[in-house]
Amino acid sequence: MKTVAFIFSENKGRCLENLVFTHLKRDDFDVYYHAGKKECDFVIKEQLEITQAIQVSSTVSNPTTKKREIDGLLDAMKMYHLKKGLILTLEDEEIVEIDDKKIIIKPVWKWLLE
């Protein structure tokens, strides 16, 4: 039973990433993947500069998952000198401040409506 639940959860995350990617491309953003010390799902380039870093996870309710997503986002934010980052989820919503960085965790549906 755990295997089925794990696969289903993994597919939800992958579908959510595809939804975010499609929306970013539809809005004509240049979308890249960040692989530094940690990984970040999407970095957005406008003209010659990276302006946004976005992580996508179905949930960050598990502390291990939340730490991994935040660490990847912070790595990208530091590399590209960003003060704000975004984690898109199915339901979670929160603002996390670490040093001088602000991480906004929000449901993807709210982000899509902005």
Q: In what order do the strands lie in the sheet with 101-107?
A: 30-35, 39-46, 49-56, 84-89, 101-107, 94-98
pTM: 0.89
Q: How do residues 5-48 score in pLDDT, each as one tens digit?
A: 444 455 788 899 999 999 999 999 999 999 999 999 999 999 99
Domains annotated on the chain, with CATH = 2-113 (3.40.1350)
Query: What are 41-50's pLDDT values in tens digits?
Result: 999 999 999 9
